[in-house]
Amino acid sequence: MFKGARKDDVKQIASELNLEVNEKNTLWDIIELIKNSEPYKESFGSVKEIADLVIEERKRHEQSQVEIEKLKLELEVAKAQAEIKNTSCESESQDSLETLIKSVRTLTVKLPTKQEN
């Protein structure tokens, strides 16, 4: 029933059963407190259902956090790729602009004219 449960999960289960737990209690102390409680003895199925729900909710929350982190990393990669692409485009356009300026200068250079004498 408590397989895969963490201390916070077991504390939440105890809280759902209106059992008092303090910070000094270890994981095993809390599990024993739950197992010795009236709700556990009277309605094991309900306690098991509560435990399963608490553990499943924590796992779902952790999975969503992992997905959020994954999306953040993918966004950073996309931004970096876009930045690289923009940098290379700017470099190419700057190179072609410099080439154009050189061409214009070459074409506008005054050629010496031949004197008629």
* Structure confidence by residue, pLDDT tens digits, 46-97: 999 999 999 999 999 999 999 999 998 998 888 888 888 777 666 666 667 6
The total number of structural domains in the chain stands at 1
Round to whole Å and give the CA distance between 22 and 15: 11
Residue 36 binned pLDDT confidence (cut-offs 50, 70, 90): very high
What is the reported pTM?
0.62
> What's the confidence (pLDDT) of residue 83?
82
Domain that holds residue 81: 7-99
- Does residue 30 form part of some domain? yes
> What's the confidence (pLDDT) of residue 86?
73
Question: What would you report as the CA-atom Rg of the chain, rounded to the nearest whole angstrom?
Answer: 36
pLDDT, one tens digit per residue, over 100-114 is 777 777 766 666 666
- Does residue 104 form part of some domain? no
117, pLDDT greater than 60:
no
Segment 3-16 shows an average pLDDT of 92
- Does residue 68 form part of some domain? yes
- Does residue 61 form part of some domain? yes
